[in-house]
A = this chain, B = another copy of it.
Amino acid sequence: MVQKDSYITEGSPYGIYKLRVEGLNLYYGTKQALKDISIKIAPNTVTAFIGPSGCGKSTFLRCFNRMNDLIENVTITGSVMVDDIDIYKNMIDVYQYRKKIGMVFQKPNPFPKSIFENVAFGLRINGESSKSVLQGIVESALRQAALWEEVKDNLNKSALTLSGGQQQRLCIARAIAVKPSVLLMDEPASSLDPISTAKIEELIYQLKDQFTIVIVTHNMQQAARVSDKTAFFYLGELIEFDKTDKIFTNPSKEATQNYITGRFG
């Protein structure tokens, strides 16, 4: 059963914003990791989250696909709306929901299966087993992830034989294959060398036509290069959220400026 909810790939028919967060607070036990965060993210944009280590970027990112559910003792207040549906309040099926939100992680994490099976995974767990359907989707996902040419003759080789950069693109293909409308990326290039990093950045740049992309990065240059808008977090607060060029040429907050110019700490 492949998700055919075509709306999700074709921009949002809902409000003008794809993602909307209002007054979000998140606690790990008693420790508050996110403080009253509100943000609106338009569809088909790349939004970068930057900020010093431990400021809550990853935590916030994981709110969008309820990955924080996997951690014990997490309390969340406020609302996170995807396509104007509050994903925490409504009785939604979190597993079904997560299919709409692709995620790519810091370290490439291909399954120890063949390249093909990696990309087909999301479809298979959804019950799709027709070889031809799978083949079609796998190919198009790999093409979108700019990996097809490199692997088309080796679809049955283990994904672990790929290089780090290729693995990361495979992970992107895997995420794309279930046709999500949002792609979350948590430092997707931080473990890669500059050449692979550049490729991933190019890819992000190309994918934004079809997805709403949110990327966490430590590398300010990367945020600058790939994103349309940048959000600067500090100590769990969203300090500034603006167009990326604005942030990097003329941030409104002192803290942002200090951070991006390296005058911090």
Contacts and interface: CB of A to CB of B under 8 A. Distances in A.
Nearest to A196: B53
Contact of A194 (B195, B198, B199, B220): B220
A265 interface: yes
A193 interface: yes
Contacts of A249: none
A127 interface: no
Interface in A168-214: 193-196, 198-199
A262 interface: yes
Nearest to A217: B194
A221 interface: yes
B52 A264 contact: no
Contacts of A199: 265
A194 B53 CA distance: 8
B220 A53 contact: no
A179 to B, nearest CB: 30
A218 interface: yes
List the 5 closest pairs (A to B, CB-CB), nearest first.
Answer: A53-B193, A198-B262, A195-B265, A195-B264, A52-B195
Given A52-B195, A194-B220, A195-B265, 5 more contacts: A52-B194, A53-B195, A194-B218, A195-B262, A195-B264
